[in-house]
Structure 1
Amino acid sequence: MTNYNISKHSSFYTVGLSYLKADAEVRGMFSLDAAAKDALLQQAQSDGIEGLLLISTCNRTELHGFAQHPYQLIKLLCDHTNGNVEAFQKVAYIYKNNEAITHLFRVGTGLDSQILGDFEIISQIKQGFYHSKQYGLTNHFLERLCNAVIQASKRIKNETDISSGATSVAFASVQYILKNVPDISEKNILLFGTGKIGRNTCENLVKHTDNKHITLINRTRDKAEKIAGKFNLVVKDYGELQTEIRKTDVLVVATGAQSPTINKSLLYCRKPLLILDLSIPKNVANDVAELEGVKVLHLDALSQMTDETLEKRRKHVPKAEEIIAEVQRDFTNWLETRKFAPVIKALKKKLKTMKDEELDFQSKKLGDFNAEQVDLVSNRIIHKITRHFANHLKHADIDSDESLQLIKEVFQLEEGLQ
Structure 2
Amino acid sequence: MENFKLSQNTTFYALGLSYKKADALIRGKFSLDAEGQSDLLAQAKTEGIESLIVISTCNRTEIYGWASHPYELIKLLCGHTKGSVEEFQQFGYIYKNSQAVSHMFRVGTGLESQILGDFEIISQIRTAFSRSREKGLADTFLDRLVNTVIQASKKVKTETKISCGAASVSFASVQYIIQNAADVGNKNILLLGTGKIGRNTCVNLLKHTKNSHITLINRTRHKAELLARRLNVIVKGYGDLKEELQRADVLVVATGAQSPTIDKTLLGLHKPLLILDLSIPRNVDADVKEIPGVTLMHLDDLSQIADETLERRKQHIPAAEAIIEDLKSELYAWVNGRKCAPTIHALKAKLNEIVSTEFAFQKKKAIHFDEVQMDLVSSRIIQKLIGHFASHLKEENTPVDQSIEFIEKVFQIGRFMPDRSSWPTEEKYRINLS
Other-structure match for 2:88:
88
* 2:121 pairs with 1:124: no
Other-structure match for 1:2:
3
Task: Report Cα offsets for 1:134-171 as digits up to 9, x if no partner.
Answer: 21111111111111211211111122111111110001
Contact map agreement 2:36 2:80 (CA 8 A) in 1: yes
Residues 94, 240 of structure 1: alpha-carbon distance in 2 compared, 3 angstrom cutoff: same
Other-structure match for 1:245:
245
Other-structure match for 2:190:
190
Other-structure match for 1:339:
339
CA distance in 2, matches of 1:212, 1:154: 36
* 2:157 pairs with 1:163: no
Q: What is the CA-CA distance between 1:296 and the residue it aligns to?
A: 0.9
* 2:153 pairs with 1:153: yes
SS in 2 for 1:12: strand
CA distance in 2, matches of 1:402, 1:317: 34
Contact map agreement 2:110 2:117 (CA 8 A) in 1: yes
CA RMSD for the aligned pairs? 2.7
SS in 2 for 1:343: helix
SS in 2 for 1:251: strand
User: Which amino acid in the other structure matches residue 5 of structure 2?
Assistant: Y
CA distance in 2, matches of 1:213, 1:168: 23
Residues 412, 114 of structure 1: alpha-carbon distance in 2 compared, 3 angstrom cutoff: closer
Residues 81, 398 of structure 1: alpha-carbon distance in 2 compared, 3 angstrom cutoff: same
Q: What is the CA-CA distance between 1:378 and the residue it aligns to?
A: 7.4
Please list, as runs of the form range in 1=range in 2, the aligned pairs for 1:234-273 lying within 5 A after superposition: 234-273=234-273
SS in 1 for 2:255: coil
Contact map agreement 1:28 1:280 (CA 8 A) in 2: yes
Please identify, of 203-212 and 116-125, the stretch whose mean Cα deviation from structure 2 is larger: 203-212
CA distance in 1, matches of 2:414, 2:204: 64
Please list, as runs of the form range in 1=range in 2, the aligned pairs for 1:364-375 lying within 5 A after superposition: none
Q: What is the CA-CA distance between 1:346 and the residue it aligns to?
A: 2.7
SS in 2 for 1:64: strand
CA distance in 2, matches of 1:127, 1:199: 19
Q: What is the CA-CA distance between 1:64 and the residue it aligns to?
A: 1.1
Structure 2: any 5+ residue segments left out of the alignment? 419-434
Whose relative contact order is higher, 1 or 2, with alpha carbons under 8 Å and at least 6 apart?
2
Residues 353, 317 of structure 1: alpha-carbon distance in 2 compared, 3 angstrom cutoff: same
CA distance in 2, matches of 1:29, 1:406: 46
CA distance in 1, matches of 2:412, 2:261: 68
Q: What is the CA-CA distance between 1:407 and the residue it aligns to?
A: 3.0
Other-structure match for 2:12:
12
Contact map agreement 1:342 1:417 (CA 8 A) in 2: no
User: Which amino acid in the other structure matches residue 227 of structure 2?
Assistant: I
Task: Report Cα offsets for 1:294-347 as digits up to 9, x if no partner.
Answer: 111111111111310011010111111111112112222222222221111233
Please list, as runs of the form range in 1=range in 2, the aligned pairs for 1:35-54 lying within 5 A after superposition: 35-54=35-54
Other-structure match for 2:103:
103
Q: Give the alignment's TM-score, normalised by structure 2.
A: 0.87
CA distance in 1, matches of 2:109, 2:417: 36
Please identify, of 80-89 and 265-274, the stretch whose mean Cα deviation from structure 2 is larger: 265-274
SS in 1 for 2:112: coil
Please identify, of 344-353 and 270-279, the stretch whose mean Cα deviation from structure 2 is larger: 344-353
How many residues matched? 412
Contact map agreement 2:162 2:314 (CA 8 A) in 1: yes
SS in 2 for 1:240: helix
Task: Report Cα offsets for 1:82-130 as digits up to 9, x if no partner.
Answer: 1111112111111111111111111111111100111111111111111
Structure 1: any 5+ residue segments left out of the alignment? none
Contact map agreement 1:269 1:293 (CA 8 A) in 2: no
Contact map agreement 1:216 1:224 (CA 8 A) in 2: yes
Other-structure match for 1:315:
315
CA distance in 1, matches of 2:258, 2:318: 39
Q: What is the CA-CA distance between 1:5 and the residue it aligns to?
A: 4.7
Contact map agreement 1:172 1:306 (CA 8 A) in 2: no
Other-structure match for 1:27:
27
SS in 2 for 1:148: helix
User: Which amino acid in the other structure matches residue 209 of structure 1?
Assistant: T
User: Which amino acid in the other structure matches residue 219 of structure 1?
Assistant: R
Please list, as runs of the form range in 1=range in 2, the aligned pairs for 1:298-313 lying within 5 A after superposition: 298-313=298-313
Q: Give the alignment's TM-score, normalised by structure 1.
A: 0.91
User: Which amino acid in the other structure matches residue 196 of structure 1?
Assistant: K
Contact map agreement 1:263 1:285 (CA 8 A) in 2: yes
Contact map agreement 1:3 1:11 (CA 8 A) in 2: no
User: Which amino acid in the other structure matches residue 4 of structure 1?
Assistant: K
SS in 2 for 1:66: strand
User: Which amino acid in the other structure matches residue 119 of structure 2?
Assistant: F
CA distance in 1, matches of 2:219, 2:235: 11
Contact map agreement 1:13 1:64 (CA 8 A) in 2: yes
User: Which amino acid in the other structure matches residue 66 of structure 2?
Assistant: F
Q: What is the CA-CA distance between 1:349 and the residue it aligns to?
A: 4.3
Q: What is the CA-CA distance between 1:399 and the residue it aligns to?
A: 3.9
